[in-house]
Amino acid sequence: MIIIIIFWTIIFCLCNTFSIVLLGDRSLISGDLFHVENMIRLVLNWKFILAMALAVVTRISFIMLNNSLLKIPRLASVSTSICTFITLLSLIFILLANYFFLNEKLNLQQAIGAVIVLAGIAIMVK
């Protein structure tokens, strides 16, 4: 069961991360998106379409992860809460991906927050 949980956690993290990185592309989100033609251009952009597809897979993986946790008797009564904490791992991946793909720099506060999130997840799952 743990392998299935790890599998769905990885799928969630990867899909969520790359969905957000694709939508964070400055060329995609800059400009006035309140004009109809700019909004249409956004919605028809391949990065936007791929990001939305990845977002759907992210939601499905959340459900599958939650379903896997439901099958563990001691975790079943709090499976959605634990699932939410586990999926917070994607925040770490998002920060790292933003650094490498969008050239956004991590600061000390973000690094400390990432460590706190990881510690919280470890405590919740134990």
Q: Give pLDDT, residue 87.
A: 85
Task: Give me the tens of pLDDT residue by residue for the chain, a chain 126 residues long.
Answer: 889 999 999 999 999 999 999 999 888 888 888 999 999 999 999 999 999 999 999 999 999 999 999 999 998 998 998 888 888 888 888 888 988 999 988 789 878 887 887 788 778 766
Q: What separation, in Å, do the N-terminal and C-terminal C-alpha atoms of the chain show?
A: 15
> What pLDDT does 93 receive?
87
pTM summary value: 0.81
What interhelical angle do 89-101 and 108-125 show, nearest 10? Answer: 150
